[in-house]
């Protein structure tokens, strides 16, 4: 079933909407949650919470891309769960990911002024469009899907060192791109 029909089912308050969304995007959402939480049970629970949040928010929202909407819900729920469960614990893989891009994911700049989310979103999208496909995939896998460097390297048959250097160079280019776009973080 296509996304438009699934969203229509949400609007009609049909429970089939959850079933179809789960069939189509369950694996995708689980992948996102598991990469953040590293726990099968927590990831499954997070995915189930995603459908509850989708049910609560559609309507009034009418997402244009259901996959992106569900992925964002899943990611935010997983990040919140991760933050709650890992407060005061030792550093792990996800803390390293967040430290790598901490300066880019804040909602305020160094002067404490709010960052315009629409401007930031457009700047990120234009930056990603400029990247070569392999670099874009590595960047998105690391910072959106929270994939480990090891898994990215294995999936694309490249060394972990290549992944690390690609990410380092891309973060630097990203920072320069944001400054060029007038976003001072």
Instruction: Report yes or no on 116 lying in a domain.
Output: yes
Does some domain include residue 10? yes
Do 138 and 160 lie in one domain? The reply is yes
Looking at the fold, whether 79 and 97 belong to one and the same domain comes out as no
What local confidence, expressed as pLDDT, does residue 138 receive?
Answer: 96
User: Final residue of a domain: which of 86, 121, 145?
Assistant: 86
Based on the domain organization, do 108 and 77 belong to the same domain? no
> Strand, helix or coil at 72?
helix
pLDDT of 61: 92
Asked if the structure places residue 185 within a domain, the reply is no
CATH number at residue 61: 1.10.1740
Domain that holds residue 23: 3-86
Please count the structural domains in the chain. 2
Q: Based on the fold, state whether residues 7 and 66 are members of the same structural domain.
A: yes
Residues 98 and 176 both lie in one domain? yes
CA 138/CA 3 separation, integer angstroms: 27
Among the candidates 86, 105, 140, a domain finishes at: 86
In this predicted model, what pLDDT tens digit does every residue of 33-64 receive, in sequence order? 999 898 999 999 999 999 999 999 999 999 98
Same domain membership, residue 81 and residue 110: no
> Per 3-state DSSP, what percentage of the chain is helix, strand, and coil (rounded to 5)?
75, 0, 25
State whether 68 and 97 are in the same domain: no
What's the pTM value of the predicted model, to 2 decimals?
0.71
Q: What is the pLDDT of residue 2?
A: 94
Token code pair at residue 30: 């689980």
Q: Are residues 152 and 136 in contact, defined by beta-carbon separation less than 8 angstroms?
A: no
Helix axes 3-11, 66-86, angle to 10 degrees: 70
Token pair for 61: 């929202």
Q: Are residues 128 and 55 in the same domain?
A: no
């Amino acid at each position: 079933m296509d996304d438009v029909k699934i969203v229509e089912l949400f609007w009609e308050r049909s429970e089939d909407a959850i079933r179809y969304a789960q069939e189509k995007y369950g694996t995708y959402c689980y992948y996102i949650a598991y990469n953040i939480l590293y726990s099968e049970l927590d990831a499954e629970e997070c995915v189930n919470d995603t459908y509850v949040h989708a049910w609560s928010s559609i309507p009034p929202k009418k997402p244009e891309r259901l996959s992106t909407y569900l992925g964002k819900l899943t990611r935010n729920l997983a990040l919140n769960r991760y933050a709650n469960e890992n407060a005061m614990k030792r550093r792990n893989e996800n803390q390293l990911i967040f430290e790598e891009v901490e300066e880019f994911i804040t909602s305020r700049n160094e002067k404490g002024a709010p960052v315009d989310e629409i401007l930031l979103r457009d700047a990120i999208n234009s930056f990603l469009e400029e990247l070569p496909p392999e670099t874009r995939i590595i960047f998105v896998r690391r910072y959106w899907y929270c994939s480990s460097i090891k898994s990215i390297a294995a999936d694309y048959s490249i060394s972990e060192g290549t992944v690390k250097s690609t990410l380092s160079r891309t973060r630097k280019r990203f920072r320069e791109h944001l400054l060029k776009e007038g976003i001072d973080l």
